[in-house]
Amino acid sequence: MENSTLTMAADTIATGDETELEYISDIVLGVAFLIIAFVAAQRMAWSNKQDGTDTSVVTAFYSLILCTSTIRSIWFLIPNSVFKPTYVPDARLAFSGTSWIGVFLSEIILSLGSLGLFSIFILILVYWADILKKYFQPGETRSKPMKTFKKIVFFLFSVQILNAVLFLNDVYSSEAMRLVDAILLASVSIICVIEITIFSHKFRTVLQTLGAINQVSTESQNKRIVWITVTGNLFFFTRAFLEIIFTSVLIIYWHRNGNVAETFSHKWWDVYVLIKHWSEVAILALMLYILQSRFTTNNSIATGNRDGYNQVPEAEEDDVPKNVSIGSVNV
């Protein structure tokens, strides 16, 4: 009796063609992102109270995690029927009826969440590139990492704004809007895989060299870099694969049928959504763990619990940054 009541309640809320499984799955994902947002907000408030020249950058990481998870939780916790009549994507033209408004807003919120997520790793790569330039190209002028980060993010936002403008001007439908977004994210994912792999290898080489010269252990930094490399590459490879498959299906279907109506079934769309967004939950949770472990390591060093580590001379303190695995250093 209780199960039938729950089923009826879910069916009542999940209007349109949204299934009970899809409705429950969205709620669980929304709650998961909400928990991450809550933890990130707590950590960000705590980080602001800490001393140190690198605190602002760590706070920036927490703020990006907070924004990303908040946007994702909003997207999942608002019932799908509020935005659009169908759960699986369908083609809608701007100003055609009233349903296009919800479809457009849904795509904007989804795109903002994706850009926020990718910005976290873009910030890491920007700082890694800046630090490596210091050692591999010492004579060249180093630009401010945050300026570089803002330029990259501004470019990505500009592409999304142009995508929205073209949709609103009836140049193409909402499915083409999703297609542009998928191509952009697949391209950025592939670039991130390449950059993370290259920078990670160089970073570990620098750490080993500096550790040997200064007679200090860099094991903790090296482990966190390996964690970011493996999990980051796994995430971006998975994301690139999903977006490439999504793009290929849309293009092939359009080529064969002249439209993209009824392109995805509920089964395959559910698989796409689950893999895509649970991988996001996993990578955000891992970033929170890495940031927390970084602070734990630094605090234990600051309180004198060095566990046999040798004191680094003050003049060389910048050579082996404590939180090099994240990218925020004194520069």
Domain borders along the chain are: 16-296
pLDDT confidence of residue 37: 96
Cα 269 → chain centroid: 21
pLDDT confidence of residue 220: 77
Alpha-carbon distances of 161 from 4, 8, 120, 157, 180, rounded to whole Å:
45, 41, 20, 6, 11
Residue 128 CB partners (closer than 8 Å, separation 6+): 199, 203, 327
**CATH level 2 (architecture), domain 16-296:** Up-down Bundle (1.20)
Structure tokens belonging to residue 263: 């392109």
The Cβ of residue 263 has, within 10 Å, a number of other Cβ atoms equal to 20
pLDDT confidence of residue 321: 41
Evaluate whether 61 touches 50 at the Cβ level (below 8 Å).
no
In this structure, which amino acid lies at residue 97?
A: G
In this structure, which amino acid lies at residue 25?
A: S
Structure tokens belonging to residue 90: 């369908």
Residue 23 CB partners (closer than 8 Å, separation 6+): 10, 13, 14, 79, 80
Q: What is the pLDDT along the chain (331 residues), one digit of tens a residue?
A: 434 433 433 443 444 578 888 999 999 999 999 999 999 999 888 887 776 556 777 888 999 999 999 999 999 999 988 888 888 887 888 888 778 999 999 999 999 999 999 999 999 899 888 888 888 877 777 778 888 999 999 999 999 999 999 999 989 888 889 999 999 999 999 999 999 999 888 888 888 888 888 877 777 778 878 888 888 899 999 999 999 998 888 888 877 876 665 567 788 889 999 999 999 999 999 989 888 765 444 444 344 443 433 433 333 334 434 444 444 333 3
Residue 235 CB partners (closer than 8 Å, separation 6+): 279, 280, 282, 283
Cα 311 → chain centroid: 36
Residue 281, SS3?
A: helix
In this structure, which amino acid lies at residue 66?
A: L
pLDDT confidence of residue 2: 37
Residue 284, SS3?
A: helix
Find the farthest-apart pair of alpha carbons in the chain and give their distance in angstroms, rounded: 75
